[in-house]
Amino acid sequence: MLAILFTMLLLNFILPFLNHPLSITILMLLQSLLICLLMSLINTSSWFSYILFLSFLGGMLVLFIYMTTLASNELMSFPLKSFMISTTLSFFIISYFNMNFNSIFIFYPNFSNNFLLNLTQLFAFPNIMLTIIMISYLLISLIAVIKISNLNQGTLRQS
């Protein structure tokens, strides 16, 4: 858990030194992956972190498409000097505070290991109707998106 927090802090220090949209998108994707990993470590069920990561990934892919059309011919460079500065700075901050992160979650009873989530309740009688409605909604949305983006009309962006 401390390694994930250290990596998140390191990525936060690297962000101001990046200037290419592709590298910023990759950094944001890594940051969202680390946030979802941290959430799955804290909660006993990792379903919420899976759904959150898929939402982040969908938004990042849309932003990635926009940014690659705008900055398609730029070269991406990684500043090594800024990486070294941010690594040492984050290491000093972590060693200075030397916090015990396990004591933070003592006051939250939902984060304890005694809380067991039975996943079979997701498909029990009262909840199965909501699951069927969600599956039907996603299927109708998929069919609508396929019909809107017809292959005969080409891309949405005119060249």
Give the mean model confidence (pLDDT) for residues 127-152. 81
Provide the b/e sequence for 51-89 (b: ≥16 CB within 10 Å). Answer: eebeebeeebeeebeebeeeeeeeeeeeeeeeeeebeee
pLDDT at 112: 44
Q: Say if CB 27 and CB 18 are below 8 A apart.
A: yes
Neighbours of 91 (CB within 10 A): 13
Q: What gap in Å lies between CA 2 and CA 105, rounded to an integer?
A: 14
Query: Which helix (H) or strand (E) segment is 81 a member of?
Result: helix 80-97
Model pLDDT for residues 72-98, shown as the tens digit of each residue: 676 767 677 777 777 777 777 766 665
Neighbours of 49 (CB within 10 A): 19
Task: Specify the pTM.
Answer: 0.54
Report the pLDDT value the prediction gives residue 99, as an integer from 0 to 100: 55
Per-residue model confidence as pLDDT tens digits over 5-59: 778 878 887 888 787 777 888 888 889 889 888 888 887 777 788 888 888 888 8
pLDDT higher than 70, residue 139 = yes
pLDDT at position 98: 58
